[in-house]
Structure 1
Amino acid sequence: MVVGERVVVKWLTPPVPLPHPTPEIFAHLVDSGFNDTAPPYAALTGVLGGREHLLALITGYLPEARDGWEWCVDEAATGSTAFATELGRLTADLHLALSTFPITSTTGGAASGSTAARAYEALAEALALTGGDDGEWLATRADTMRQELKVLERPIATPRIRIHGDLHVGQILQWRDGYAVIDFDGNPTVTGAGLHQPAARDIAQLTTSLDHVAQVAIRRRSTPPADATRWAATARDTFLSAYKSRLAGGNRPDLLDETLLRPFEVEQECRELIYAARHLPRWRYAPMGVLRTWYGEEPRKENIA
């Protein structure tokens, strides 16, 4: 709810038992001097059933704000990628701030073995839930996808930091004075994951969302597929270059292990398929479009008389 174009009240329905990730992340970002988000004002809590719950979050209102499923699709339709430099800076600044968030016994990340297991489970579930021609095609690429996930079986040496957890373009607002990242509630489709994970997890979700934007532009804006694919590749490269440069400027290039990007991207597309099957069937075209771009279409068979 927007109140007087001054504050935004986000009611949690149903209320969520505390602890909840957002209030503590907001407090840490303020202490760290990270300002590229809606200004956090307050959290409303109450006791329900003998336990304290988070009822609502109150943040500042950002004038003329649009989320990335609007503004970024506009960029794809016009072929512009200038935004990607600023997106890389914003994301790096966010990770630099979150990298100083303390790790406790209850917030630490999962071990590398379980990281691989969760990825394989996501692939298996995506295969089971994706039917029709898409499912048949996906099955022909499953072995290749498993091979790309094998990277996650080795020990992960890169630092684990408190990540955003659901960082896609829809969480990036373009508003009157620039860009802002929002919604630190975590990924609603993932349970049991540690709050501290490699930064590559966030980056993989953001880069795949740029690929999804390209698919949206193809479907909704009639952007030629070849143009959309080139746009996505350029946007990804520009974003990653700016992100790595900003990390280096903050003396933390170690935060990104690029070898983790591809397997995390493959896992993310599996999770997109799971989400589509469970909650939003019409969304399946986007992850399937990305996977077909990555792994190629089956050659068409000629009918021989």
Structure 2
Amino acid sequence: MTLTARTSPDDARLLEVVRDWLPTKRWFPAKGQVTELTATASFALAPDVTVLLVRARAGSIDALLQVPLVLTDGPTAEAIGTLDGRSVLDGADHPSFLRAWLAAADGPGADVDVTAARAISGEQSNTSVILPGARPGILKVLRAVAPGENPDVDVPRHLVDVGWQHVPAPLAWLQAEWPGHDGEPVTGYLGVLAAFVDAAEDGFELACAYAGRGESFADLARSLGSITATMHDALVRAYGVEEVDQGPEEVARAVATRFSWALSAVPSLARFADGVAEVVAEVRSLPSAPPRQRVHGDLHLGQVLRSHDAWFIMDFEGEPLAPLAQRTRPDLALRDVAGLLRSLDYAAAVGGLSGAAAADWTAAARAGLLAGYGGGDQTLLRALELDKTLYEAVYESRNRPTWLPIPIAGLERLTPPR
């Protein structure tokens, strides 16, 4: 079923109820900025369930946010506010919203108990809700919605179709039509319910725990590298490869551009200029580069689960606020490997290792991951890891200055003095 958004006089009134609440949520895309909020349209999933679409504009940000709301009679401590004497609740994990969502969704379905739903804390860009039951699932409510295929729905479906079993299988998905920015109707996804992976450990938390105990992560990293390689093979079977050979020049140019951007934000990175230039020159000297293919796009240890001695890879959405064309564009498979390598550095630091102990632990884990993956051009991999590390340096300088030493240490390793 494809829902169709409608406009209602209550849309603007509901927006006023949630206006001050929205910026407090981790998934709100324009924290700390003066943001223009507009009620675009809404979906009436049930008499007491409304999904409000709110356009948020601030600087370069222009996002359409999905805000599920449940209206109940009588006061309640969880209420965001009131409308006509009824309490307005955040609906993402409310049984009324979940029941209506499942009734409207497509897919094979799941056997779940909506009254026992539990939202996962800590998510930043979406809201995920665990639904226990005979066939349990985890519902991802997409907070920033966009027209077109959503990779987090489309890619797992394709992977399951070609027989790859290391992704939580999609059980249900909900599509909708709403007014685009130009007023013309567009169609996209509101959310997806995937199979729940039981007895699962978060990959990053697991790696941090190993680091904290000083225990080698190399064997687990090797098996993760192997699973990542099979994922890339499955993605080729599902989507094919890009025939146009863009060569290594595109990678070299991207790294050089990234460094210029990072240097303008963090002037202290100037000492890495010669090392970056050397990496760029080495990439430019390569005779060719592997063909581009569909990739995960945002792979790190926080995107993998360990369950019953097996790895599962999830969250294929990519950067939620990036344009869909950018998130689905073919890329070098090694970019996913570079993301995992950078995540190992973070796990060592967050796990409490430093100095030689951190270097040794990370080196063993990196070697295991690369051995499991089975190769790849080391010059390209170094460049892609450098590109990611430069981004991290800017991010940490702006958001977590105490974490800036983590990417700085990575830059020192990737651009050593000659």
State the TM-score bracket (shorter-chain normalisation).
0.7 to 0.9
CA contact (8 A) 1:173 1:180 kept: yes
Distance in 2 (alpha carbons) for counterparts of 1:95 and 1:292: 30
**Cα gap change, 1:108/1:24 in structure 2, threshold over 3 Å: closer, same or farther?**
farther
Structure 1 gaps, min length 5: 245-252, 298-305
The question of 1:289 aligning with 2:409 is answered: yes
Shift of 1:224: 4.1
TM-score normalised over the length of structure 2: 0.60
The answer as to 2:344 corresponding to 1:210 is: yes
- Rounded Cα–Cα distance in structure 2 between residues aligned with 1:10 and 1:279: 26
The aligned runs of 1:204-283 (5 Å cut-off) are: 204-217=338-351, 221=352, 223-244=353-374, 256-277=376-397, 280-283=400-403
* 1:139 partnered with 2:270: yes
1:4 has 2:136 as partner: no
Who is 1:178 aligned against?
Answer: 310
State the shift of 1:236 in Å.
0.9
> What is the aligned length?
277
CA contact (8 A) 1:40 1:59 kept: yes
1:99 maps to 2:236:
yes
Match of 2:191 in 1: 56
For residues 97 and 213 of structure 1, the distance between their equivalents in structure 2, rounded to whole angstroms, comes to 28
Taking the aligned partners of 1:143 and 1:268, their CA distance within structure 2 comes to 18
Q: Is the 8 A contact 1:109 1:193 kept in 2?
A: no
Deviates more, 1:183-192 or 1:169-178: 183-192
Corresponding residue number in structure 1 for 2:261: 125
TM-score (norm. length: structure 1): 0.81
TM-superposed deviation, 1:118: 2.0
Structure with the largest fraction of helix: 1
Percent sequence identity is: 30
1:160 is matched with which residue: 287, 292, 301?
Answer: 292
Alignment-derived partner of residue 22 in structure 1: 152
In the superposition, relative to structure 1, how do residues 128 and 187 fare at CA in structure 2: closer, same or farther (>3 Å)? same
Please report how far the alpha carbon of residue 231 of structure 1 lies from its aligned counterpart in structure 2 after TM superposition: 0.9
| Compared CA separation, residues 211 and 195, structure 1 to 2 (3 A) | same
* CA separation of 1:193 and 1:8: change in aligned 2, threshold 3 A: closer
Provide the C-alpha distance between the structure 2 equivalents of 1:186 and 1:286, rounded to a whole number of angstroms: 23
SS of 2:192 mapped into structure 1 = strand
Letter in 2 for 1:9: L
Check whether the contact 1:45–1:52 (CA below 8 A) recurs between aligned residues: yes
Alpha carbons 1:109, 1:197 under 8 Å: kept? no
**Structure 1 stretch 187-196 or stretch 17-26: which is displaced more?**
187-196
Contact 1:64–1:176, Cα closer than 8 Å, also in 2:
yes
Q: In 2 relative to 1, CA 285–88 (structure 1 residues): closer, same or farther, beyond 3 Å?
A: same
Moved more, 158-167 or 183-192: 183-192
The answer (yes or no) to whether the contact 1:98–1:162 under 8 Å persists in 2 is: yes
1:2 is matched by which residue type in structure 2?
I
One-letter code of the match for 2:234? A
1:42 matched to 2:166? The reply is no
CA contact (8 A) 2:198 2:307 kept: yes
Tell me the distance in 2 between the aligned counterparts of 1:226 and 1:166.
29
Letter in 2 for 1:146: A
Give the C-alpha shift of residue 14 in structure 1.
Answer: 2.2
Per-residue deviation, residues 61-91 of structure 1 (Å, max 9, x unmatched):
1123232221111122232222122112211
Q: Which amino acid aligns with 1:24?
A: D
> Contact conserved, 1:103 with 1:196, CA < 8 A, in 2?
no
Instruction: Report SS of the residue matched to 2:239.
Output: coil
Checking the alignment, whether the CA contact within 8 Å between 2:216 and 2:364 is kept in structure 1 is no
Of 155, 169, 175 in structure 1, the residue corresponding to residue 301 of structure 2 is 169
Matched residue, 2:126: none
Q: Would you say the 8 A contact 1:215–1:290 is kept in 2?
A: no
Among residues 180, 200, 211, which one is paired with 1:76 in the alignment?
211
Q: Which runs of 5+ in 2 are unaligned?
A: 1-128, 180-184
Q: Aligned-pair distance for 1:38?
A: 1.5
Q: Which one has more relative contact order, counting CA pairs under 8 Å at least 6 apart?
A: 1
Report the secondary structure of 1:17's partner residue: coil
Paired with 2:240 and 2:388, the residues of 1 have a C-alpha distance of 25
Post-superposition shift, 1:186? 1.6
- 2:227 aligned with 1:90, yes or no? yes
Which one has the largest radius of gyration? 2
- CA gap 1:243/1:296 in 2 versus in 1, 3 angstroms: closer
- Asked whether the 8 Å contact 1:216–1:286 carries over to 2, the reply is no
- State the Cα deviation string for residues 132-151 of structure 1 (Å, max 9, x = none): xxx42x21111211211233
